[in-house]
């Protein structure tokens, strides 16, 4: 199996009068096509880790590589889905989704069919002309997912994408992501503090702890795929959840 993302002893230190060590000696290896969840309390640096892979923030020490190459800046091969969707409020749903291909200089015939398909995949085929402000939180995040899928990235970086949604919508979006992933099999890093969400979605969970942020344990999720929301009430699921909760409590002491 090829390695998609490799972190070797990566540190992140914010300099200043009181330097803050956000991440300390992170070793991480995510295989191609793997769905990895970073699970941890706020302040454990999981978003910082994601931002470094995305190229938004630099690495202070150690080595970070994506498909064997170094990361120097953000780029369409490492697509990011933000927590608040971060859509351009002045652009319609359609314009938001074709933004990537457009700025990359592709001709309309190279992306329009794919953009239509992608919008259909996330269930927004009837909302092309809507502005983000006219959409609900869940629909905004569908656009956020569609606009990165349309770029056919190697890597999907998701930073608590459903964290701001209500419980009902969150479940719908989790199901949607499971379906999409089942079809496309992208490599994903999914940041969350929701244990259920991590178990439901991921192949492997990295449990992180805070001050300084580090990886406490790596737990493969051996629940069978394809999964759906019924998985959440499965006996295996509960056993698994118990194990992870013990692991996290263990850290608190």
Partner 1 sequence: MSLPSVQRGGRRAVLALILPVACIALWQWLGSYGFLVEGVIPTPFKVAEAWKVWAFGAGGFTLNPYSGTWWSNLVFSTQRVGQGYLLAILVGVPMGVLIGWSRIAAQLVDPSIQWLRPIPITAWLPFSIALFGIKDFGAIFLITLGAFYPIVVNTTQGARDVDKNLVRAALMMGAGSGQLLRRVILPAALPSVFTGLRIGLGIAWTAVIVAEMVAVKSGLGYVLWDAYYVGRMDVVIADMVSIGLMGYLSDRLVVFVEGRVLTWRRLQSH
Interaction site with partner 1 (CB under 8 A)? 54-56, 73-76, 78-80, 82, 84, 86-90, 99-100, 103-104, 131-134, 147-148, 151
Minimum Å gap between C-beta 128 and partner 1 is 15
Minimum Å gap between C-beta 99 and partner 1 is 6
Structure tokens at 125: 């085929």
Minimum Å gap between C-beta 23 and partner 1 is 19
Minimum Å gap between C-beta 93 and partner 1 is 12
- Of 75 and 123, the one with the shorter C-beta distance to partner 1 is 75
User: How many angstroms separate the CA atoms of 208 and 251, rounded?
Assistant: 9
Minimum Å gap between C-beta 50 and partner 1 is 11
- Of 12 and 214, the one with the shorter C-beta distance to partner 1 is 12
- Of 155 and 180, the one with the shorter C-beta distance to partner 1 is 155
Closest Cα partner for 92 from 136, 165, 143? Answer: 143
- Of 87 and 208, the one with the shorter C-beta distance to partner 1 is 87
- Of 55 and 213, the one with the shorter C-beta distance to partner 1 is 55
């Amino acid at each position: 199996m090829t390695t998609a993302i490799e972190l070797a002893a990566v540190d992140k230190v914010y300099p200043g009068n009181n330097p803050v060590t956000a991440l300390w000696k992170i070793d991480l290896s995510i295989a191609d096509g793997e769905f990895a969840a970073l699970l941890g309390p706020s302040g454990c640096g999981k978003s910082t880790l994601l931002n470094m892979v995305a190229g938004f923030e630099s690495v202070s020490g150690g080595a970070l590589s994506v498909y064997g190459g170094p990361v120097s800046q953000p780029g369409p091969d490492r697509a990011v889905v933000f927590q608040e969707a971060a859509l351009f409020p002045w652009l319609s749903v359609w314009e938001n989704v074709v933004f990537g291909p457009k700025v990359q200089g592709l001709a309309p015939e190279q992306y329009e069919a794919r953009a239509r398909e992608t919008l259909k995949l996330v269930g927004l085929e009837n909302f092309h002309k809507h502005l983000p402000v006219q959409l609900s939180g869940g629909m905004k995040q569908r656009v956020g997912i569609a606009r990165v899928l349309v770029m056919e990235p190697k890597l999907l970086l998701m930073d608590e994408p459903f964290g701001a949604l209500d419980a009902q919508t969150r479940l719908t979006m989790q199901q949607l992501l499971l379906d999409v992933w089942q079809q496309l099999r992208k490599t994903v890093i999914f940041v969350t503090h929701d244990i259920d969400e991590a178990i439901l979605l991921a192949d492997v969970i990295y449990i992180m702890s805070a001050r300084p942020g580090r990886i406490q344990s790596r737990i493969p999720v051996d629940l069978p795929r394809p999964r759906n929301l019924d998985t959440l009430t499965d006996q295996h699921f509960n056993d698994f959840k118990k194990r992870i909760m013990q692991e996290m409590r263990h850290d608190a002491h």
